Structure 1
Amino acid sequence: MIPKKIHYCWYGQGKMNDTLQKCIASWHEKLPEYEIIKWDETNTPFHKFPFLKLLYKQKKWSFITDYVRLYSIYTQGGIYLDTDIEILKDFGALLNEKAFVGFQTNLEDSIYPINSAVIGSEKGNSFVLDCLKETEKKQRLQFNAMGGPPIVSKVLIENYGLDTYKEQLLNGVKLLPTSYFYPFSWEETYTKDCIKPETICIHWWQDSWKNKKKGFKYILDSFNRKLQKTPVMLKDKLHYLLDKKSFFYIQ
């Protein structure tokens, strides 16, 4: 059974906008029996994960979150929420599942049909571990280390054989249609008609982690980040090539 814990991440010590504050207030209002855990600089075990420490130095908050969202529910169990998720009602019977995630599109409209802005699991869940390892591998071996939908979609499609858009139980993972967590897409405008009886929450697609910098300074910063990462990445690639089994920090 999934424990009544809500995990969320906030790095960089920036101020949350009104929408995010409203969303988090909805968690307290609609989920009064849940423990709400904020992951930030004070409680993230950077000392255990050198690649996260480098990402923090580079101010790549979203990449850190891509790993910690999975780490939080793998080590403690519970439900991870992005800060732009507004809760409408309790997760109810979904707490009886071993793990759950939701479609953000059907399989034809996106190569990343599954989103991880809402993801729940029991402690030590094997699906979450698979996603953790894929995220770590990408963050340590590639420059573009974006996780989230690309990771959970890859694991479910390539490893678990997902090939149909429907509510289903796949290798112990409950997959839910868009109406549950993502009643309107990032390309659509919200209307009240999108809310269905089964809708648990609304994703407001705030993109709060997006780096807004443009121009020469952004290009220079990107170049410097690659310079910082290159020697570490080459060392990690050699480690992965020689001994995949011992490569991952969480086995």
Structure 2
Amino acid sequence: MIPSIIHYCWFGEKPIPSEYQQNINSWKEFFPKYEIKEWNENNYDVHCIPFSSEAYKVQKFAYVSDYARLKILYEHGGIYFDTDVEVIKNIDDILANGAWMGIEKHTSTPKNDDMVNIGIGFATEPYHPIIKEVMSFYENTHYIFPDGHMEQLPIVPIVTKILQKHGMPSKVNKPINIKGITIYPWDYFCPIEFMSNKLEITKNTRTIHHYSATWMSPKDKFMMWKGHFFRTNILGRGLKTIISILKNKVNNFR
């Protein structure tokens, strides 16, 4: 049984922005009997492993949270949400099925494999072996390497690769149980597409992940959105125009 507690992380000792506080208020609305617990420098050891300690020293707090949320749910169980997650519908039926994770709506991944993002929310009982397996990745690596370069790999492909090793298919079109964790399609917990920011709510949608992407620098965010705009609005339209011209030429030739 999933413990009745919602965890979130807030490192860096700055006030929580109002838009994030509104998301937390949505948790309170749909989970009125749940404890909501903030984890920060005062109640969590950010230096518990080299990876998170190194990330904290250079103020990469999203990477500190990557390991923290795993460790917290492994030890305590419950639900985890990033602060940019808004709850819009009751999920009691989801919780009744036990541990869960969700697919991120992201059309630009290699081979278009579905990717699991635990930042959009996940829940588990304490001491789940899959959670421990993901923790082990961080426990055996560094954020800052001897040559000075920093690990920029987000948690999404790490979790996805481990679940695929245990049988998760490349496409998750319906809920599927992998080693005691039910993986839900994108429309349950992530109706916004990562690159286009397009929102597509369905009857299954329980939460909205608003994508603060705090692990990316402002420059990286700009380059990502610029690249997507070029592909979809310039290159995409250009290809459509070329195809249309070629079709007309073929028809005229006939």
Task: Select between 76-85 and 106-115 the one with higher mean Cα deviation.
Answer: 106-115
Aligned with 2:204 (options 198, 210, 219): 198
Given that 1:63 and 1:146 are in contact with CA atoms closer than 8 Å, whether structure 2 keeps it comes out as no
1:173 deviates by 1.4
User: Does 1:91 pair with 2:97?
Assistant: no
Shift of 1:140: 5.9
- The offset of 1:145, in angstroms, is 5.0
Query: How far did 1:189 drift?
Result: 3.7
| Alignment of 1:79 onto 2:85 | no
Q: Distance in 1 between matches of 2:112 and 2:14?
A: 31
Q: Residue type matched to 1:205 in 2?
A: Y
Measured after TM superposition, the shift of residue 108 of structure 1 is 6.5
Q: What is residue 157 of structure 1 aligned with on the other side?
A: 164
Structure 2 gap ranges (5+): 221-254
Match of residue 188 from structure 2:
180
Query: Is 2:115 the partner of 1:113?
Result: yes
- CA shift, 1:168, in A, is 0.8
CA pair 141-189 structure 1, distance change in 2 beyond 3 A: closer
C-alpha distance in structure 1 between counterparts of 2:47 and 2:144, whole Å = 19
Q: After TM superposition, what 4+ stretches of structure 1 lie above 6 angstroms from structure 2?
A: none
Range with bigger deviation, 51-60 or 28-37: 51-60
Amino acid at match of 2:84: D
Closer, same or farther in 2 for the Cα pair 1:208/1:60, shift >3 Å? closer
The reply to whether residue 146 of structure 1 matches residue 153 of structure 2 is yes
**Aligned-partner Cα distance in 1 for 2:16–2:214:** 9
Change (3 A) 1:161 1:95: closer
Alignment of 1:19-168 (within 5 A): 19-46=19-46, 48-105=48-105, 110=112, 113-117=115-119, 118-139=121-142, 143-144=150-151, 146-166=153-173, 167-168=175-176
* C-alpha displacement of 1:53: 2.6
TM-superposed deviation, 1:109: 5.6
Question: Does the CA-based 8 Å contact 2:12-2:59 persist in structure 1?
Answer: yes
TM-score (norm 2): 0.74
Shift of 1:196: 1.8
Q: What's the CA shift for 1:8?
A: 0.6
Distance change >3 Å, CA 188–CA 213, structure 1 → 2 = closer
> Aligned partners of 1:14, 1:89: CA distance in 2, in Å?
29
CA contact (8 A) 1:97 1:121 kept: no
- In structure 2, the CA distance between the partners of 1:149 and 1:110, relative to structure 1 (3 Å rule), is farther
Q: Does the CA contact (< 8 Å) of 2:5 and 2:78 recur in 1?
A: yes
1:183-206, Cα deviation, whole Å (9 max, x unpaired): 121223444xx2222211000112
8 Å CA contact 2:102–2:189 kept in 1: the answer is yes
What is the RMSD computed on CA atoms of the aligned residues?
2.5
**Higher alpha-carbon deviation: 146-155 or 80-89:** 146-155
- Give the paired residue count: 212
**Structure 1 residue 78: Cα displacement:** 0.6
Structure index of larger Rg: 2
Output the TM-score relative to the length of structure 1. Answer: 0.75
1:220 is matched with none
